[in-house]
């Protein structure tokens, strides 16, 4: 069974204090790994898709990387507006899963001024 595990569950950072979030996955053939940001009571906001090991993508203070077993989301010099829950999801290659995303439980990030 496909599994996605995110760590830590929660992270409290000072403004400017860089850190990394981890997403470990087991899937029967990875088609893609996705990162989303979710604010309380709102829909997940798409951030990145990673397709193959070694791939990296950046957007403002966020950088996502992928290996064969895990992905990291690096937050560089975070600001209070980066406070959110960050969700990782995988899409498997099996034909019966089609576009289904399997989500992790998320990492809740709080950035204080």
Partner 1 sequence: DSGVTQTPKHLITATGQRVTLRCSPRSGDLSVYWYQQSLDQGLQFLIQYYNGEERAKGNILERFSAQQFPDLHSELNLSSLELGDSALYFCASSRRGTGDMYEQYFGPGTRLTVT
Among 13-21, 35-43, 53-61, 63-71, the segment contacting partner 1 (CB under 8 A): 35-43
Q: What's the closest the beta carbon of residue 41 comes to partner 1, in angstroms?
A: 7
Under rule CB under 8 A, residue 98 binds partner 1: yes
Distance separating alpha carbons of residues 36 and 59, to the nearest angstrom: 12
Which of 9, 15, 45, 60 is the binder for partner 1 (CB under 8 A)?
A: 45
Q: What's the closest the beta carbon of residue 59 comes to partner 1, in angstroms?
A: 13
Q: How large is the C-alpha radius of gyration of the chain?
A: 14
Under rule CB under 8 A, residue 81 binds partner 1: no
Phi/psi for 44 (5° steps) reads -60, 140
Contact 68, 27 (CB under 8 A): no
């Amino acid at each position: 069974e496909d599994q996605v595990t995110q760590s830590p569950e929660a992270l409290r950072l000072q403004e400017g204090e860089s850190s990394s979030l981890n997403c470990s996955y087991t899937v029967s053939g990875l088609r893609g790994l996705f990162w989303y940001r979710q604010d309380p009571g709102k829909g997940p906001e798409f951030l990145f898709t990673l397709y193959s090991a070694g791939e990296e993508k950046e957007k403002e203070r966020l950088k996502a990387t992928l290996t064969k077993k895990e992905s990291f989301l690096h937050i560089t010099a975070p600001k209070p507006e980066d406070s959110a829950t960050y969700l990782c999801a995988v899409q498997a290659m099996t034909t019966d899963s089609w576009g289904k995303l399997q989500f992790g439980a998320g990492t809740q990030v709080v950035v204080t001024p």
